[in-house]
Chains A and B, each alone.
Chain A
Amino acid sequence: MTTVADRPIEEQIAQWRAYLRRRQALHGPDVEELEGHLRDQLAALTEAGLSGDEAFLVAVKRMGSLDALSREFARAHSERLWKQLVMAPEADEPAKTSHAETIVVLSLAVAAALAVKVPALFGHPINPNDELPLFYARNASLFVFPLLAVYFLWKRGSGVVSGLLLALPFAAGAVFANVFPFPKGSHTEVLTILHLPIALWMAIGVAYVRGRWFADGGRMNFVRFSGELAIYYVLIALGGFVVTLFTFMMFRAIDMNPDWFVAGWLIPCGAAGAVIIGSWLVEAKQSVIENMAPVLTRLFTPLFSVLLLVFLATMAWTGSPINVKREVLIGFDLLLALVVGLVLYAASARDPQAPPDFFDGLQLLLVVSALVVDGVALAAIAARISEFGFTPNRVAALGENLILLVNLVWSAWLYACFLRHRGSFAVLERWQIAYLPVYSVWAALVVVVFPPLFGYR
């Protein structure tokens, strides 16, 4: 009869290795490193006179609890955790029961849905036959974001004081969204609508990282969270679209008109509640959809590189200049924003210690070609800027172009250093996350300064 102790040492090591491999937080090279340690320890112990099995038991015991070990590894490499949340629950942190969380989330979602209906009581009704009042567009983020912040404050167990501090940006947002006397068709009003959510998203970030904005990995996790939330939100919106279609189909079949319900309740309340539900899904069910944002990045980086190169080649071949129209600048802003997004999400999923590979070269190609395309567009626009004059839209678009351009130029430089083995990928990652507040600060600037600066036009 063979027992565990009789088996040859190699077999035991193999079994131990297989056991380690099953841990999500440990990657191949880590297991190899730990196995090397185990073997060194075994050699030393056998030399000291222990039998193979005794030595194995002692060596494994000294290695420590595997739960604690993989937890520490997960902490040191938080990007791995994102894939599958297998962190063993910590003994010293009170676990929020999922039951309580479900109740909190559902109440917050309902609160967000009802918050959208509150203004209707004070003379801002949503009428299915009229256009949506701009009041709702200006305040869209204010209906939902504070409740989302409350969810994170609750989930992370933050104190009352930090909650009150976090209320400040939302209060300021509410003031600046509503205090300015925008005339009908005002450009600065549209700018406020577009920029207020970006400015306030930073406050959500602070709640998400529990106020420790500069702590290790927190900001990158928030970037990952934002990407996954966007994907969940699109999925939920698709579902909502199907629900809407069926609502119309069925009620019209019995000669009822559901317009007032769909436009006044279903779409606005659903859109608000879905943000909370989506955030909860991202927090709770990260393992269901595995890391979609990086997957999309991998898919679209090559596609966009090809698109940009073909565009440049075509422009060089035909010599046709960029036709500077009103939307061109905004279009190129969006292009740069997209490229920054691709770089950011590629960085969020990458193991910073891995050596440069083909995909990194592709990223550099993408960034450089985007820079060239944007340079060409900017030159064309600059040539005619005197003709245009400065309108609020143009200043905002130029400012954004500049901000994204600075980010990409420096990213390209860091990528180049990394590819030539002159620097580590962690530097690029740090640059990207350190740059995050710039977007929010600029957006806040547009919301606060632009309307009075341009006379609310």
Chain B
Amino acid sequence: MDMNKDLVAASATPLVLAILAEGDSYGYAIIKRVAELSGGHLQWTDGMLYPVLHRLERQGHVAAKWSASENGRRRKYYRITRQGRAQLAAQRQQWQAVDSTLRGMWMEACTV
């Protein structure tokens, strides 16, 4: 299934925030988790995650810290902030509204 580009871009923020709400993480692990959660439907080019993360950091939704990783290199870990959780809750409501609207329409179409 080929997803619409705008849809993928729009879902990036809530998806990243939701994954970070599960626990602190870093770029590569986030990408892996997205692929896992979406069953491969949501395919990002890997690099595109980083501008998203940096934008969220700038907006104060996530905080970042460099620490050592298991392979000895430095790695940038991201953590969701309180403001980020509020943003996630707001986004969640918006997506649920979209989802329930579409769902309602398509259920109706099925029953007719």
Contacts and interface: CB of A to CB of B under 8 A. Distances in A.
Interface string A26-39: 00011011101101
B8 to A, nearest CB: 13
B48 A64 contact: yes
A72 B64 CA distance: 19
A73 B57 CA distance: 13
Nearest to B75: A36
Nearest to B43: A62
Considering residues B47, B57, B60, B73, which has the most beta carbons from chain A within 10 angstroms of its beta carbon? Answer: B47
Contact of B51 (A39, A63, A73): A73
Contact of B47 (A32, A69, A424): A69
A63 B48 CA distance: 8
Nearest to B49: A37
Interface size class of A (residues with CB under 8 A): 20 to 34
Contacts of B59: 426
A24 to B, nearest CB: 15
A30 B26 CA distance: 13
B47 A64 contact: yes
Contacts of B51: 69, 72-73, 75-76
B55 interface: yes
Contact of B46 (A37, A72, A353): A37
A383 B52 CA distance: 55
Contacts of A69: 45, 47-48, 50-51
Contact of A353 (B26, B47, B52, B57): B57
Contacts of B66: 29
A32 B74 contact: yes
Interface majority SS (helix, strand, loop, mixed), chain B: helix
Nearest to B51: A72
A214 to B, nearest CB: 13
A221 to B, nearest CB: 15
B54 A37 contact: no
B101 interface: no
A39 B27 CA distance: 12
Nearest to A353: B57
Considering residues A33, A73, A424, which has the most beta carbons from chain B within 10 angstroms of its beta carbon? Answer: A33
Given A36-B69, A36-B74, A40-B28, A73 B58 contact: no
Contacts of A66: 47
Contacts of A427: 60
A63 B49 CA distance: 10
A64 B46 contact: yes
Interface in B23-41: 26-28, 31
A65 interface: yes
A76 B54 contact: yes
B92 interface: no
A352 B58 contact: yes
Nearest to A43: B71
Contact of B28 (A36, A68, A77): A36
B60 A33 contact: no
A393 interface: no
B27 A36 contact: yes
B103 interface: no
B47 to A, nearest CB: 4
A41 interface: yes
Contacts of A41: 28, 46
B82 interface: no
A30 B76 CA distance: 10
Nearest to B76: A33
Contact of B54 (A63, A77, A424): A77
Contacts of A353: 54, 57-58, 64
Contacts of B26: 36
A65 B28 CA distance: 17
Given A32-B74, A75-B51, A65 B27 contact: no
B48 A37 contact: no
Contacts of B31: 37
A426 B55 contact: no
B73 A30 contact: no
B27 A76 contact: no
A68 B69 CA distance: 28
A426 B60 contact: yes
B55 A76 contact: yes
Given A36-B73, A36-B74, A77-B54, A63 B47 contact: yes
A63 B46 contact: yes
Contacts of A40: 28
A23 B16 CA distance: 26
B58 to A, nearest CB: 6
A37 B74 contact: no
Interface string B70-91: 0101111000000000000000
8 contacts: A29-B66, A29-B76, A36-B76, A37-B46, A63-B46, A64-B45, A68-B47, A72-B47
Given A36-B26, A36-B76, A65-B45, 7 more contacts: A33-B50, A36-B27, A36-B73, A63-B46, A64-B45, A64-B48, A76-B54
